[in-house]
Structure 1
Amino acid sequence: MKREKVGERVGGGAAVSAAELSGFFEATLGASGFADYCPNGLQVEGERPVRTLVSGVTASAALLRAAAALRADAVLVHHGWFWRGEDPRLVGVRRERARLALQSGVHLFGYHLPLDVHPELGNNVQLALRMGWRVDARVGEHGLVCLHDLPAAASAKRLAAGLRRRLGRVPLAVGALERPIRRIAWCTGAAQDMLQQAIDAGADAFVSGEISERTTHLARESGVVYLAAGHHATERFGVQALGEHAARRFGIVHRFVDDDNPA
């Protein structure tokens, strides 16, 4: 793989306008049909056509600096800005992030729930592809909780080992790891409060990004094995898939930047 130098533009000759790229994302994800906790779509308007697209999980200062070093024209994230209930003022950390985006002239695109549930590019499906699962059923709002029936029972310990191998981190496990698992439920990110839906759907194990004190007790008392594999770790794949999809469509360059997060 070619190693990019800081300050070197990695884009080729192909370019797409921000408006056309935004329309492509909307047509792909149907984002306007979601009632979400944040705006989906173009969140910051940049200055130029897009030749280089950088994707990442969260629109952090570190990601924006990395995108500027690659001379990106647009940044695509799963966790953008302007969350419901958040202080809307651009002060402190928010001011610095806004300054970095405006100074580099990038367009910032963010897609939250639409990128979780997409049947091909979404976080849940992309995690399943890496784990060798198929989506046999979906439950909950927007079908966020996915279910897979294993062809043969496997221990929860083996399931945890697979997550560790493919995600590069040890999942936090609650429950009996020797328990045989036939039905797996999962939802990436902060989906701990969807555990009851997984229980109601007959799951033997629930995989998510995070776990809470309250859901720890629910998992123990229900007998369902809970594997919290990391919010960031479980949501790295949808944004990469969407970025690659756009790169193929328009002939632009796409680079994923992993601003690692232990949570």
Structure 2
Amino acid sequence: MTDAKTLGQALDALLQPEKFRDYGPNGLQVEGDRDVKLLVSGVTASRALIEAAIAADADAILVHHGLFWRGQDGRVTGWMRERLRLLLAHGIHLFAYHLPLDAHPELGNNAQLARVLGLQVQGRFGEQDLGFWGVGDQVWGQPQDLADHVARTLGRQVTCVGDPLRPVRRVAWCSGGAQGYFEAAMAAGVDAFITGEISEPQAHLARETGVAFVACGHHASERYGAPAVAEHMAQSMGFAHRFIDIDNPA
């Protein structure tokens, strides 16, 4: 068991949010009134996750996607009111880390996605060094072989666009909605790029350059960082941890 202030300080020391230009506040977003005996981790602070945490008698929640984002409507109505009502009524602390959780070299979303997919990190690229690149534990002869491996490993269908015959040796990846990193990945000299989402322009770039673009789902690519950090904290600070995955097709 630990208090929320100590947990927040440990999370900040590990993830170093002050180093990032982000889209919303990192750290403690909603203050509860409980000591932490059980920390629940998840991808997004949705009502479904909050309700599941309440059912598990959790004292705190750690997520990648929190409640507050730059430019959003600041009024506490509708879905925002309901999420906050549940958290406050049950005294549950909410911690959220966005880009810091993507970037951590060992426990972050990109490092953990590499572990799950069998990718060896050799370098980083892109704005704030959020993108990773490297090689695989196995050799993928063609982009579809890589796409099939990603689909089997993550348990969902993926989109693959590019030269179907180009050998895949070097791979770049950046979890979530990192389609804007595609050109930086190509500049790093890779044969394929993995991220969560693809937008209309990237399909044309993939076809014209031959570099494969593999879109595996925003949620699916970001299921691994929060539980890795939460489990690290649980082991080092002496409380329990449970990952709750709320399915999301996006």
Q: TM-score, normalised by structure 2?
A: 0.97
Match of 2:175?
A: 188
Asked if 1:251 corresponds to 2:238, the answer is: yes
Match of 2:190?
A: 203
CA distance in 2, matches of 1:224, 1:37: 29
Asked if 1:237 corresponds to 2:210, the answer is: no
Match of 2:34?
A: 48
Match of 2:158?
A: 171
Q: Deviations over 1:27-49 (max 9, x none)?
A: 11111222210100000000110
CA distance in 2, matches of 1:70, 1:215: 41
CA distance in 2, matches of 1:154, 1:104: 52
2:80 aligns with one of 87, 94, 98? 94
Aligned-residue CA RMSD (Å) = 1.2
Secondary structure class of the residue paired with 1:136: strand
Aligned residues: 249
- CA apart distance, 1:178: 3.6
- CA apart distance, 1:152: 4.7
Q: State which drifts further: 235-244 or 133-142.
A: 133-142
Asked if the contact 2:162–2:203 (Cα under 8 Å) also holds between the matched residues in 1, the reply is: no
Q: Deviations over 1:141-173 (max 9, x none)?
A: 221111113575532122111111211101111
Gap change, CA 1:255 and 1:153, over 3 Å in 2? closer
Q: Deviations over 1:71-108 (max 9, x none)?
A: 10000000001101111111111111111111121000
Match of 1:70?
A: 56
Match of 2:134?
A: 148
Match of 1:107?
A: 93
Unaligned segments of structure 1, at least 5 residues: 1-14
Match of 1:129?
A: 115
Q: TM-score, normalised by structure 1?
A: 0.92
Unaligned segments of structure 2, at least 5 residues: none
Which amino acid in 2 is paired with 1:254? H
Q: State which drifts further: 150-159 or 74-83.
A: 150-159
Secondary structure class of the residue paired with 1:177: coil
Q: Deviations over 1:6-28 (max 9, x none)?
A: xxxxxxxxx10000000000111
| Identical counterparts, % of pairs | 54
Asked if 1:222 corresponds to 2:209, the answer is: yes
CA distance in 2, matches of 1:104, 1:202: 50
Gap change, CA 1:98 and 1:199, over 3 Å in 2? same
Match of 1:162?
A: 149
